[in-house]
Structure 1
């Protein structure tokens, strides 16, 4: 039998999703930042994609021109000029903005590793009551 010992330099690490930031709640009308932080380690980036309720609304592919693309989805107001890589800026919000947001990061060949995480976003509106005596 042959046993090979690996040193720390021999171990290859891959893509790691470090943080997915989605506000827990926002006030109706307010803008929203969605942040997906990752470490590629020794990999190259293939894509970063964002989904709301399992429907894709934004993707960033470095190989595309332009690299950032948005897809129309009710309640998701992507501002492409402010969005880059894993950071997506929604210029406004309404009750349709509520949902489960997922970031999915994929590495290029040869690993093709994909990491994903999701967070819930709620939108609240202010309701005014007038009481008269």
Structure 2
């Protein structure tokens, strides 16, 4: 499972991509989870093939999602954590494989860091004491 980007800014979109290769059987389903809760399923044998399950804070873009990728819009801090995808092959195998990945939702400071020093000028060998401060971030 690939989370693109793995650290996503709050309010932005993130794509979860589950790459798989099925050799001896066609795809039965692919399911995406946040923790233990399923929020997206693609089953090519059903109509429609996609199904979105309600999950607090997850807004699936169905137009940007398919058999390998689910696009989540407007992410919030509560979505940080483990995601997984589960791929199940159809008959005759009905085998299942699961992959995991972490996603971190972040927020950048609104302004650039500020650097404060004791003196405005320094000579070689002087001791430099400085403080670098930023606004809150996460």
2:62 maps to 1:80 = yes
Please say if 1:126 is aligned against 2:108: yes
Give the corresponding residue for 1:21: 2
Unaligned runs of 5+ in 1: 1-19
Q: Partner residue of 2:88?
A: 106
What TM-score, normalized by structure 1, do the two folds share? Answer: 0.78
1:128–1:91 distance in 2 versus 1, CA, 3 Å? closer
- Report SS of the residue matched to 1:90: strand
Q: What is the Cα deviation at residue 42 of structure 1?
A: 1.9
Match of 1:47 in 2: 29
For residues 34-84 of structure 1, give each alpha carbon's deviation from its aligned partner in whole angstroms, at most 9, with x where no partner exists: 100111112111000000011000000011111011111112110111100
Aligned with residue 79 of structure 2, among 80, 83, 97: 97
Gaps of 5+ in 2: 115-138
TM, length-normalised to structure 2: 0.76
Give the deviation of 1:128 after TM superposition: 4.2
**Residue aligning to 1:8:** none
Pairwise CA distance, 1:126: 2.4
Q: Give the Cα separation in 2 of the matches to 1:97 and 1:30.
A: 12
CA distance in 2, matches of 1:26, 1:82: 17
